[in-house]
Chain A
Amino acid sequence: MSALKVDALSKSFGGLRVTADVSLTVEPGERRLIIGPNGAGKTTLFNLITGELAPDSGSILLFDRDITQLPSRRRAHFGMARTYQIITLFPRDTIVRNVCLALLGLSPLRWNPVAAFDRQHRLFERARAALARVGLSHIADRPLSQTSYGEQRRVEIAMALAQNPKVLLLDEPFAGLSIDERREVNQLLFAIPRDVTVVMIEHNMDVALEFADRITLLGTRAEVVADPRTREVYLGA
């Protein structure tokens, strides 16, 4: 049984065929790196896998369950979580409340209109535990708008991890980070237990290659992939 199986997936925007017949199989616990030039359709592939976009053809299987037609929100309940390349957080709330919203998304409590959200101590404890994993405990109560870009990147990851996903999709988790911050994020990615399958889009080859078990190159044309210079540019070999 594979964790994630994408079969002959295609998506066009008008005349532009962004995802053309993409197939890939990710085994449980695997760390898969997806690389490719700008415009190769890496983020589009993520949007198709998470259901934010509907594919024109092809299928997506999550642990042998066909989720191609499943709405995006349901996929979260089946153990899929993602982070965004462009930070997509709740700037008006504190960091811990951001993570609480991630936890609340999978809890029936989210429909409760009479309980006090701030008194859901178990929820907040779990959120603080998730923040501890990414090293942000000390600023958990700070409004998100008063945190640095690097910290917000880690909040993104904390929110995804808090949901205890089976498959975690990371869209450029190192984008825009300093060398020190990259090291910190790298450490926390390595600390993710092996029962979580991780698929990652990343351009920072030094950190990404170390992390990945296998690599998928999304290219616009097969000859680009086959060209030895591609190998040289990406792998330095």
Chain B
Amino acid sequence: MSSITPRRAAIGIALILLITLPAWVGNPYYINISSQILLFAVFALALNVLVGYAGLVSLGHAGLFATAGYAGALMLQAGYGHFAADGVAILVALLAAAVFGVLALRSTGIGFLMITLALGQIVWGVAYRWASLTNGDNGVNVTTRPRPFGLSLANADSFYYATLLIFLAAVASMAVFIRSPFGASLCGTRDQARRMNALGYNVWLTRFLAFLFSGFWSGIAGLLFIYYTNFISPQVASLQTSAEVLLMVISGGTATLLGPIAGAAIVVIMKNVVSAYVERWNLVLGVIFVAIITFMPEGLVPGSVRLWRMGWRAFRDRGRANVLRNVSEPPS
């Protein structure tokens, strides 16, 4: 049971790298970028529950992300403590996910995508237009970060560790979820909904519960976001945010754990780091996506695994061919 497999070794090394990251990165700017990658990775993992495992492509998840963010920010602005604000924000996110789910799950495929898109746009519209509540385009400031167990999260290092902890919790919950009987049921509804129904599964409820799970982690990511930027504006609820997180999932590889994380890293690094050097960073991002779709249509992570295996097999077979050649050559 406790033997060291390559997989476990890789997980161990990744964990050590993540835990020691502030030490070897040093520069607070890049530590903050790392926090941003992790929080968007949580968001992408949440969306992947639907896109990857339920086969339901949502283009309105920014709505859930922003709903939680706004709920938290407005509660804080109204003078409530972080505990109450965060709790309410998560409840509001779940409620929003329930509404999204009830409406969007009337359909699948393109229909589902269009309904989620419309719902996301409604959230954006409310954030933008209902100025007396949301302060419109000026957004809402979040002045403080929570102090769990009296620990300050004000500096880059401490906020990174808090984000890392939540990120690891998200990854663990996803890993457990997809290996569970419920996860298997969800994948079944993706692959053969009709059969699942005939086998006795409640396809709709299975998808709805998955939507809530996705909404929960989207809400957590939204809260991390407002604490990270100390600010939320309608831009967060925009279609661009929904599209970006969907790109993270698809480019990294749907229905994998690592894919959305890798996708989040690419998009965040492009937006923040490359944009400092290349003015037209959107173009670079576009070229990268085109390259991924061309050479690894299944996404970066599964694609890399496939190319690695192909390369390894070619290398191994060449070795065998050499051996055979040596054997078949007559001794001189």
Contact = CB atoms under 8 A, between A and B. Distances in A.
Interface of chain B, helix or strand or loop or mixed? helix
A116 B199 contact: no
A163 B202 CA distance: 16
Given A113-B182, A117-B181, A91 B198 contact: no
B201 A116 contact: no
A50 to B, nearest CB: 6
A230 interface: no
Interface string A93-132: 0000100111011110111111111101000000000000
Interface of A: 50, 52, 72-74, 76-77, 81-82, 84, 88-92, 97, 100-102, 104-107, 109-118, 120, 159, 163
Given A52-B194, A76-B200, A116-B180, 17 more contacts: A72-B198, A73-B197, A73-B200, A73-B201, A73-B203, A74-B200, A76-B199, A81-B198, A88-B192, A89-B192, A90-B192, A110-B182, A110-B185, A113-B181, A115-B180, A116-B179, A163-B200
Contacts of A118: 179
A52 B197 contact: yes
B199 A114 contact: no
B120 interface: no
Given A76-B199, A117-B180, A104 B185 contact: yes
Interface of B: 176-177, 179-185, 187-188, 191-192, 194-203, 209, 213
A105 B291 CA distance: 41
B195 A88 contact: yes
Contacts of B198: 50, 52, 72-73, 76, 81-82
A100 B185 CA distance: 10
Nearest to B191: A90
A72 B193 CA distance: 12
Most buried by B among A73, A88, A92: A73
Given A112-B180, A117-B180, A89 B195 contact: yes
A105 B196 contact: yes
A70 B179 CA distance: 31
Contact of B200 (A92, A100, A105, A111): A105
Given A101-B184, A120-B181, A114 B195 contact: no
A113 B216 CA distance: 15
A73 B177 CA distance: 23
